[in-house]
A and B are shown apart, each in its own frame.
Chain A
């Protein structure tokens, strides 16, 4: 199962942090710092895998991918396959790219809740549920459509009821 998904920039600021098992805020920060230290000490052209047992506890591996100014980090246990998770990161980034057209760090900062929506469509309760970026896009677009609609509806009745009662 996937234990955590993190996105942090090359200066160590976290841009997204989702832990599938509860950890206190302090512990989360400690882990993010720990991972960042390991990540930035790694040379280029080395493997994308790191043994995370010393930071995250027994049976945990880490796969990361570096895009421009961001590190995408997935932590998981032995029931997942490293290469497959690496590909999952690729899918995640491709989806973000489709969603924001030329995604950049700024998009991730400002569309915090949308990034979570996308991630929730891919990974649910620590298990991978969807790997096709176009399917994810479809689901996310439907969600934002319905959200917008429900917002409109919920705003109208209020004013309408106010108007009727007059």
Chain B
């Protein structure tokens, strides 16, 4: 099959692609596409269009929509095509509708009938196409219409159809669990399907079901384990292999399921130990897919009831991942480490340097993953270093989504583990300064509260020191341009409360700064309001201290402006400020006591101070107050009476007086009174919003539970641990290495010997001083690096023990498992001869084979030695054409794409037989030349700027 592949194309479509490819600008491209849309609109509605033509129009529509243009005028034609008898046309129709429509589209109603019919078709391809549409286009309401047919298909003779029917049922379950809840047992039944592919497909819905309800599937543990065992032992036919791994996606799904089932269940977990251990030992660790399975094993081990041997194997794999040169493996290693440290926190220590390398890696993805790991392993000893790093990184990125996340993590860690309040305030300042608009406003409140309340220790001196350092830092920070609003609110509040408290700064300093803030952020009303109130506090404190108050000219002009403000809030604050300034010292002291934001406010809930007033009112003939409980009873009675009366007299005149005003309204009045007539001394009684913010800290009992709280007790105050000794650690590890070398002889297990040879081959890299220091502060000392090889060796012995031991239970297990699954597996499962025969061939690494292909010139000349001679000028011309700029770059691309970096470590990569085979099948310069010529002639490849546009993808 050539590149045209028997699929019909017209000249017009080629022209369209060509002209779009040649477009020099987005506008030109849009013009071309709009033109095409016009053409199609006209043509598609013509009568009697041949089917082929119609099919092509629809494909063109799909193409246009992929480029982002509206093709909705053609949807109806795509729907019509699904009714066609011709398989080709019908499939095209289904393809188009699945891409065009969503499950709630109006046209779906026209398709459901066709789908119903097609699901019953004799032709399995029609059934498959319909199932595909079912997955995408059936919603909760239409599920019942197709459900019976889909259920029938679960027993279809073709395994491809059964597989897809399972997936469709799974989709129904995802969309509306209730509509298929009675059919869930079918997934269990299909687990015993003859075809391993169908069995594998059922794992997807089962995984989801088990994730929702673990307990009702515990009985399947034995079956899952035996399936996994058989898959891992290569008892499936080779058709299920993927890059020489037996059915890796089935293995991965099974491991995920086992992880769920074994979580916190010792008995279930014990059934899994053997098979997971086997996979650890046998799994090919040189391919991506092998490592994917190994990673899944680690996830499983870290989720099930812990087993020390498996944990050791997992730690070995992790260290292999982390030491690899591949960023992908490092990423997986870091992720796996994050899972494993929950169970055995000590393993992080072995990998500290690797972790720090990842932290400093230019790869952003890896960096983020590493921060996630650090977040998981933060303790009070390393919180300072970790949060510091996080904030540095937060400052450096521009992705708001991640910035928010990392800022909230910083806040969380700082609140949990803060070694000192000083540090906490500094950290918060940095977070606010750089991500202020992204953090929760509650964080700002708790920061204000911390500054106001102090440490919870009764040390006034330390408290005031903290406050003056906060004030000092804020005055400094105010010099920076563009601060976030939330941060400014905190600053204004703190300056107002404590700006002049220690006498270091005069009132005119502080008020000047506050006026600057109000002026600089003049369109932020909240900040202005905070600044005004802060000004009022400063002046009030001055008056209370019997000092002369001089309002700065800029402050006066600000007040004048605010007195005429459109915002009533600002206006009120300005008037209040004016009123306060006019009062004498004694009155001011009463309404604005200094440093009273934390004082408890006494609220007289009985409102006893109103007694006289009430007495007076009653004497004048007012109704006495009726408590709510009595009142509601009366209300009910009167309601009943009213109802009865209504029914009786709905036609006659109403003689009863109008209803009394609803007592419910009355009951609210006293509550409103509390708010409006506060006579008790409140620091800022003037405005609900402000008073909420200031009083909130003073009532910890009611806000406390929901509030983010700083852990103030039992926190260590010192920096990191002083245990680090750089010189000894390196010398120790080198001496240990030689020990490894000698002891390696009796290391039987392949896994551990491999990682040991890896160790000895890789020279101990000189580690920079700073890195070690960082490591020490993160992990609390790097003195234990040499521990790892020793444990690795122990693991080797242990695992070889396990092999011997596991022989005994294995046989009995096998009997059980064979019994359990004899019906599930194809006959060749019992054929033990095959796997051993294949295993040698399977050792070939696909990447190694492909590596031979990378050097194009070499392969071409080697494989096509003879033809090369005859047409060599052409080939040369081709290469000369492209070699200049592109070729090198391209080869590099391919290299990075195809070669697995872990393989490049392997010595002696020789070209495998399959290489020559595939490259001899692979074409040859002539084909490439033709293709190239076509490309040129088409001109799809637009300009010299990217001449390698259509370079072959694979070699």
Q: B949 contacts which of A103, A105, A139 (Cβ < 8 Å)? A: A105
- Residue numbers in A under 8 Å from B950 (CB-CB): 69, 104-106
Q: How far is the CB of A130 from chain B (nearest CB, A)?
A: 7
Question: Which of under 10, 10 to 19, 20 to 34, or 35 or more describes the interface residues of B?
Answer: 35 or more
Q: Do A129 and B928 have beta carbons less than 8 Å apart?
A: no
Question: Which of under 10, 10 to 19, 20 to 34, or 35 or more describes the interface residues of A?
Answer: 35 or more
Q: Do A129 and B201 have beta carbons less than 8 Å apart?
A: yes
Q: Do A47 and B5 have beta carbons less than 8 Å apart?
A: no
- Residue numbers in B under 8 Å from A47 (CB-CB): 326-328, 330-331, 363, 365-366
Q: How far is the CB of B542 from chain A (nearest CB, A)?
A: 49
Interface string of A64-107 (1 = CB under 8 A from B): 01111110000000010111101100110110110111111111
Given contacts A14-B67, A124-B132, contact A83 B953 (CB under 8 A): no
The answer, yes or no, to whether A45 is at the interface (CB within 8 Å) is: yes
Q: Do A148 and B6 have beta carbons less than 8 Å apart?
A: yes
The answer, yes or no, to whether B894 is at the interface (CB within 8 Å) is: yes
Q: A29 contacts which of B6, B68, B288, B363 (Cβ < 8 Å)? A: B68
Segment at the A interface, from B185-193, B236-244, B696-704, B727-735 = B236-244
Of all chain A residues, which has the CB nearest B87?
A150
* B73-104 interface (Cβ within 8 A of A): 85-88, 91-92, 95, 99, 102-103
Segment at the A interface, from B160-168, B433-441, B533-541, B705-713 = B160-168
- Residue numbers in A under 8 Å from B163 (CB-CB): 124, 129
The answer, yes or no, to whether B893 is at the interface (CB within 8 Å) is: yes
- Residue numbers in B under 8 Å from A134 (CB-CB): 239
Q: Do B952 and A103 have beta carbons less than 8 Å apart?
A: yes
Give A164 to B946 CA distance when docked, in angstroms: 58
Of all chain B residues, which has the CB nearest A84?
B292
- Residue numbers in B under 8 Å from A101 (CB-CB): 1-3, 921-923, 927
Given contacts A82-B331, A93-B954, contact A99 B5 (CB under 8 A): yes
The answer, yes or no, to whether A128 is at the interface (CB within 8 Å) is: yes
Q: Do A81 and B292 have beta carbons less than 8 Å apart?
A: yes
Q: Do B401 and A107 have beta carbons less than 8 Å apart?
A: no
Of all chain B residues, which has the CB nearest A135?
B239
Interface string of B126-147 (1 = CB under 8 A from A): 0000001001100000000000
Q: Do B291 and A83 have beta carbons less than 8 Å apart?
A: yes
The answer, yes or no, to whether B48 is at the interface (CB within 8 Å) is: no
- Residue numbers in B under 8 Å from A154 (CB-CB): 51, 85-86
Q: Do B62 and A112 have beta carbons less than 8 Å apart?
A: yes
Give A65 to B204 CA distance when docked, in angstroms: 25
Of all chain A residues, which has the CB nearest B63?
A112
- Residue numbers in B under 8 Å from A139 (CB-CB): 160
Given contacts A18-B99, A46-B327, A83-B332, contact A110 B14 (CB under 8 A): yes
Give A90 to B244 CA distance when docked, in angstroms: 13
Give A10 to B128 CA distance when docked, in angstroms: 34
The answer, yes or no, to whether A59 is at the interface (CB within 8 Å) is: no
- Residue numbers in A under 8 Å from B934 (CB-CB): 106
Give A75 to B362 CA distance when docked, in angstroms: 23
- Residue numbers in B under 8 Å from A50 (CB-CB): 365
Q: Do A102 and B922 have beta carbons less than 8 Å apart?
A: yes
Interface string of B32-62 (1 = CB under 8 A from A): 0000000000000000000100000001001
The answer, yes or no, to whether A22 is at the interface (CB within 8 Å) is: yes
- Contact surface of A with B, Cβ cutoff 8 Å: 1, 9-11, 13-14, 16-18, 20, 22, 25-26, 28-29, 42-51, 53-54, 65-70, 79, 81-84, 86-87, 90-91, 93-94, 96-97, 99-107, 109-114, 116-117, 120, 124-132, 134-135, 139, 143-144, 146-148, 150-151, 154
Further contacts, 10 of them, CB under 8 A, given A47-B326, A69-B949, A124-B167: A22-B136, A28-B68, A45-B327, A46-B366, A112-B62, A113-B7, A124-B164, A125-B132, A129-B201, A151-B87
Top 4 closest A-B pairs, CB basis?
A: A54-B401, A22-B102, A83-B292, A47-B327
- Contact surface of B with A, Cβ cutoff 8 Å: 1-7, 9, 13-14, 17, 51, 59, 62-63, 65-70, 85-88, 91-92, 95, 99, 102-103, 123, 125, 132, 135-136, 160, 163-164, 167-168, 170-171, 197, 200-201, 204, 207-208, 239-243, 247-249, 252, 256, 287-289, 291-293, 295-296, 326-328, 330-332, 362-366, 368, 399-402, 890, 892-894, 896-897, 921-923, 927-928, 931, 934-935, 938, 940, 946, 948-955
